[in-house]
Chain A
Amino acid sequence: MVILFQPLLGYAKDFMSEVARANELHANNNFQKAADAYESIHEAGLENGYLYYNLGNTYIRLGKNGFAILNYIRALKLIPRDENLQANLNFAIQQTHDKIPLPEKSTLNNLFFWVSDLNLSESLKIAFLVNVIFWSALIAWFYFRSKVFKLIRNLSFYILLFAILSVIVKSHLETGYKTGVVIVNKASVKSGLDTSNATLFELHEGALVNITAERENWFEIRLNEKQKGWVPKDTLGS
């Protein structure tokens, strides 16, 4: 049973004291040290939406809009329903030179609209729960052969299929569509994989782009149907 419910229990490592210390540094306007503290917590292994959110806030205070937006976008994958995050992300985008909004949702995303409001972990937990209900109902039906268990078995089977499909779609959306953020003051978008190539257009710190390919030390990025090109990897965060 421990194995079955382990995903629902989370991990044991406790980062609370480190987070409290970083929050205090931020509260005392010691933003650079606060940012370093949050980054070290992340490097120590904490993957958490609120950590990215606090890091985004700290970078805003440091005037680094690119890193702020990058961390807000990372947070958005983990805490998609957080209203403060949405507000701060919009605020940060408005502070940028290019003011490029978040990419529009894909057809698949519109079709499976509910996956946008759940993170992958929540989608998995729902699927795990329905999975346990289904197999338990199947065992119960196998033993008792009653109509009630048959109904629960059939219902939970369809819900399970739906939940698995949602997990697959969520996973595909997170890995298939990669958003990048310009983290330098100005990024020249080139026609090829060399700085001597023609500059097609320029982007500024905090600009949001879709990363469509990756080669050597370059990312292929796309703004819209017409504008695409290559930028060095160290100019983008993803």
Chain B
Amino acid sequence: MTRSKSSKLFLIISLLVFILLTLPAWGENIQVLATVDKNEITLEDSLQLSITIQGTQNTSPPELPSLPDFRISSSGTSSSTQIINMKRNISITHNYRLTPMNTGNFKIGPARIRTNGKTYVTQPIAIEVRKPTAPSQSGNRSVFIESAISKKKAFVGEQLIYSFKVFHRVEVKNFDLNMPFGVSYFHKEDLGKAKSFNSVINGIQYHVQEVSVALFPIKPGKAEIPTASLEFDIYHRAQKRSNQGPFGQFFNDPFFNQSTRAEHKILRTKPIFLEISPLPENGMPKNFDNTIGEFQMDANLGKNNLEVGDTTTLTVTVSGKGNIRGILLPEPDLKNLFKVYPDQPETHQTVTGNQIAGKKIFKFALVPLKPGLTNLPIFSLSYFDPSARDYRQISTQPIKISVSPSTAKESLNLVQSNSLGNISTQPEIKNLTEDILPLHTQLDDFQNINTKIDTQTIVEFISPAVLFLISAFFIKQKKRLTTDVAFYRNQKAYKTATEKLKNLTLSQDKDSRSFANELSEILREYIGNKLNLEGKAITATEVGTKLKASDFKVSQADSVRKLLEKFEALQFTPKSSGNNHELLNESQNLIKTLEKES
């Protein structure tokens, strides 16, 4: 009994708590409040703006004022529900991170909250953004960044290495690097993934992560690499020594350590200014094609002795440091001596020691057309060497090729010789322009399409089920007629009786005695079929009793009994043909009434 009472009490308390939690706050006294975690920050910090709405949790997000000197990002919402002295207080807080873009004194204007047709505004907040204090030396800072360029004076097209390093000796996560390179001054090539290593500066060990890109100046004059910025979170952790058990190390993970605090920071580098000189006009070779760097060139031939119609491959390899991807070589001029099929050049670029180096391989499939000894033309490349500040020219060595007459009898179809081993001679098909594909003109396809599920769709979907239910009813009836005799007799009783009565209608001129006898038989047979009895053998009194015992009304049972007694009485009266019609009508009406009631 006590247990039952305590269960009820618990249930009531739970219900009350639930009602308190689900009902809107009493009074709906809405207040809005804007707060910041600090008023004075440096360009390296960010501040947290929190807008708290008390009294409701169902509002649209606050409308922030225009803040052109800050970058705004949402840092989530939190809601709170408190019940103190049976009074429920609810609130929702929208948090934003404001990252300063400039120094100065700023005012965060009023934010607006619209709810229930009313507008609420927060109070303005004054913020001072200062320049970051310059450290005496980098070793005193827990995190700092550096950006550097390999040369501040360079030639157009010369490879420069622009690197960005972050040094940290505390736990730092969520790096977000914005490293613009001055797209109007330089062409950029990536130098692979960021490198990670340790470095000791003034006796302090730092973890360093370095990102480098190769920049190629595209025009002479003053050039600027804009400020790079890095956003990150510094994790400050309290040095708890409580978890020293066997799982201490495991529970010391930041996941379990509740005293971890993240501080968002943004660091910016200074812009880098460069002076880009044009390439010297003096000594510029005629075939110079803006190739800058240090290169070597080599050529070799697959076979030096071959027959007319054979195939050999001439391979020219240019290797070295610089913008190797842009090097182009002309097709060798072999006029009517050879059929030349140039292949797509292959470029293999690698990054070694923060320099882009590599090789570009040009392949030409040569098919000799005439026998004889030929010197293949040499390939030349002119380039500018920035370290020597001068132009250089390199060439391949001369190659001799001996072509003997063909031993094959059939002439070669050189036009179709496009299966030259691994050398693809199929020319690259270039798109000349891009355009949309044409209109759809197949008019038969412009039919209306059903795009929603409406009541008609549902009705149409259900209709087969309805059809099934109707069919099932009739199938079941049909099957029962073949297996259930009582049911069969019951179902057929009326039909049999009406047919027999119809036949009797044709012989109404019979004498009343035999007419009554036949009517009596029809009626008793009908009752017998309905009640699954041997109808012809039962008496009028038995029929009355049986009908009363089943679902028929007492009055109807009495009517049947009386009519049957009337028929029996007529058996013993003298023959006449006067009231047959009345008897027939009376019988028909009675059977109809009984059928309706059954």
Q: Which residues of A line the B interface, CB within 8 A?
A: 3-4, 6-7, 10-11, 13, 15-16, 19-20, 23, 26-27, 45-51, 53-54, 57, 60, 77-78, 84, 87-88, 91-92, 94, 119-121, 124, 127-128, 131-132, 134-136, 138-139, 142-143, 167, 171, 190-194, 196-200, 215, 226, 228
A171 touches B453 (CB 8 A): yes
In angstroms, Cα B475 to Cα A138, docked, is: 12
Across the interface, B447 reaches (CB within 8 A) one of A48, A87, A135, A171, namely A48
Q: Beyond A124-B457, A192-B64, is A57–B451 a contact (Cβ under 8 Å)?
A: no
Nearest CB on A from B468, distance (A): 5
In angstroms, Cα B103 to Cα A224, docked, is: 30
Question: Which residues of chain B are near A191, meaning CB under 8 Å?
Answer: 61-64, 72
B471 in the interface, Cβ–Cβ < 8 Å? Answer: yes
Nearest CB on B from A105, distance (A): 20
Q: Which of B26-34, B247-255, B312-320, B437-445 faces chain A? A: B437-445
Question: Which residues of chain B are near A91, meaning CB under 8 Å?
Answer: 434-436
In angstroms, Cα B465 to Cα A138, docked, is: 10
Chain B residue nearest to A50 in the complex (CB): B440
B72 touches A50 (CB 8 A): no
Nearest CB on B from A174, distance (A): 8
B461 in the interface, Cβ–Cβ < 8 Å? Answer: yes
Question: Which residues of chain A are near B443, meaning CB under 8 Å?
Answer: 16, 19-20
Q: Which residues of B line the A interface, CB within 8 A?
A: 60-67, 72-74, 112, 114, 434-453, 457, 460-461, 463-465, 467-468, 471-472, 475
Question: Which residues of chain A are near B67, meaning CB under 8 Å?
Answer: 198
In angstroms, Cα B62 to Cα A121, docked, is: 42
Nearest CB on B from A45, distance (A): 7
A48 touches B446 (CB 8 A): yes
In angstroms, Cα B94 to Cα A5, docked, is: 54
B446 touches A51 (CB 8 A): yes
**A45, A54, A94: most-surrounded residue (chain B CB, <10 A):** A54
A10 touches B447 (CB 8 A): yes
B460 touches A60 (CB 8 A): no
B441 touches A23 (CB 8 A): yes
Question: Which residues of chain B are near A19, meaning CB under 8 Å?
Answer: 443, 446
A215 touches B60 (CB 8 A): yes
In angstroms, Cα B434 to Cα A51, docked, is: 23
Question: Which residues of chain B are near A194, meaning CB under 8 Å?
Answer: 63, 112
Question: Which residues of chain B are near A197, meaning CB under 8 Å?
Answer: 63-66
B449 touches A119 (CB 8 A): yes
A11 touches B472 (CB 8 A): no
Q: Beyond A124-B450, A143-B475, A200-B72, is A26–B64 a contact (Cβ under 8 Å)?
A: no
A226 touches B440 (CB 8 A): no
Chain A residue nearest to B472 in the complex (CB): A142
Question: Which residues of chain A are near B446, meaning CB under 8 Å?
Answer: 15-16, 19, 46, 48, 50-51
In angstroms, Cα B121 to Cα A196, docked, is: 14
Question: Which residues of chain B are near A77, meaning CB under 8 Å?
Answer: 451
In angstroms, Cα B63 to Cα A192, docked, is: 4
Q: Beyond A11-B447, A192-B62, A194-B63, is A127–B434 a contact (Cβ under 8 Å)?
A: no
Question: Which residues of chain B are near A53, meaning CB under 8 Å?
Answer: 439-440
Question: Which residues of chain B are near A92, meaning CB under 8 Å?
Answer: 436
Question: Which residues of chain B are near A196, meaning CB under 8 Å?
Answer: 66
25 contacts between A and B (CB under 8 A): A3-B460, A3-B463, A4-B464, A10-B448, A16-B444, A23-B441, A45-B448, A47-B451, A48-B446, A50-B446, A53-B440, A87-B437, A88-B437, A94-B434, A119-B449, A120-B450, A120-B453, A127-B461, A139-B467, A143-B475, A191-B61, A191-B62, A191-B72, A196-B66, A198-B64
Question: Which residues of chain B are near A7, meaning CB under 8 Å?
Answer: 450, 457, 460
Given contacts A142-B468, A143-B475, 8 further A-B contacts (CB under 8 A): A4-B460, A4-B464, A50-B445, A121-B451, A192-B62, A192-B64, A199-B66, A215-B60
Q: Which 6 A-B pairs have the closest CB atoms?
A: A192-B63, A135-B464, A191-B64, A84-B437, A50-B440, A11-B448
B112 touches A192 (CB 8 A): yes
Across the interface, B440 reaches (CB within 8 A) one of A16, A84, A121, A136, namely A84
Question: Which residues of chain B are near A94, meaning CB under 8 Å?
Answer: 434
A135 touches B475 (CB 8 A): no
A132 touches B464 (CB 8 A): yes
Chain A residue nearest to B73 in the complex (CB): A226
Question: Which residues of chain A are near B64, meaning CB under 8 Å?
Answer: 191-192, 197-198
Chain A residue nearest to B67 in the complex (CB): A198
Question: Which residues of chain B are near A171, meaning CB under 8 Å?
Answer: 453
Question: Which residues of chain B are near A88, meaning CB under 8 Å?
Answer: 436-437
Question: Which residues of chain A are near B61, meaning CB under 8 Å?
Answer: 191-192
Chain B residue nearest to A49 in the complex (CB): B449
B472 touches A139 (CB 8 A): yes
A13 touches B448 (CB 8 A): yes
In angstroms, Cα B451 to Cα A119, docked, is: 8
In angstroms, Cα B461 to Cα A135, docked, is: 11
B449 touches A48 (CB 8 A): yes
Q: Beyond A53-B440, A128-B461, A193-B60, is A78–B434 a contact (Cβ under 8 Å)?
A: no
Question: Which residues of chain A are near B465, meaning CB under 8 Å?
Answer: 135
B448 touches A48 (CB 8 A): yes
Question: Which residues of chain A are near B452, meaning CB under 8 Å?
Answer: 120
Nearest CB on B from A229, distance (A): 9
Chain A residue nearest to B439 in the complex (CB): A54
**B61, B74, B440, B467: most-surrounded residue (chain A CB, <10 A):** B440
**A77, A171, A191, A193: most-surrounded residue (chain B CB, <10 A):** A191
Across the interface, A6 reaches (CB within 8 A) one of B72, B442, B460, namely B460
Q: Beyond A88-B436, A198-B72, is A120–B447 a contact (Cβ under 8 Å)?
A: no
A138 touches B468 (CB 8 A): yes
Question: Which residues of chain A are near B441, meaning CB under 8 Å?
Answer: 23
Chain A residue nearest to B448 in the complex (CB): A11
In angstroms, Cα B61 to Cα A106, docked, is: 26
Question: Which residues of chain B are near A4, meaning CB under 8 Å?
Answer: 460, 463-464, 467
Question: Which residues of chain B are near A119, meaning CB under 8 Å?
Answer: 449, 451
Question: Which residues of chain B are near A215, meaning CB under 8 Å?
Answer: 60
A78 touches B457 (CB 8 A): no
Chain B residue nearest to A41 in the complex (CB): B446
In angstroms, Cα B449 to Cα A127, docked, is: 16
In angstroms, Cα B471 to Cα A71, docked, is: 47
Chain B residue nearest to A18 in the complex (CB): B446
Chain A residue nearest to B468 in the complex (CB): A135
In angstroms, Cα B480 to Cα A152, docked, is: 26
In angstroms, Cα B472 to Cα A46, docked, is: 41
Nearest CB on A from B297, distance (A): 39
Chain B residue nearest to A46 in the complex (CB): B448
Nearest CB on A from B301, distance (A): 44
Question: Which residues of chain B are near A193, meaning CB under 8 Å?
Answer: 60, 63, 114
Nearest CB on A from B218, distance (A): 23
Nearest CB on A from B162, distance (A): 26
Across the interface, A26 reaches (CB within 8 A) one of B62, B439, B457, namely B439
Question: Which residues of chain A are near B448, meaning CB under 8 Å?
Answer: 10-11, 13, 15, 45-48
Chain B residue nearest to A139 in the complex (CB): B471
In angstroms, Cα B448 to Cα A26, docked, is: 22
Q: Beyond A121-B449, A198-B72, is A139–B468 a contact (Cβ under 8 Å)?
A: yes
In angstroms, Cα B62 to Cα A97, docked, is: 30
In angstroms, Cα B439 to Cα A20, docked, is: 11
Chain A residue nearest to B479 in the complex (CB): A143
In angstroms, Cα B119 to Cα A193, docked, is: 12
B112 touches A78 (CB 8 A): no
Across the interface, B460 reaches (CB within 8 A) one of A54, A128, A200, A226, namely A128
B453 touches A124 (CB 8 A): yes
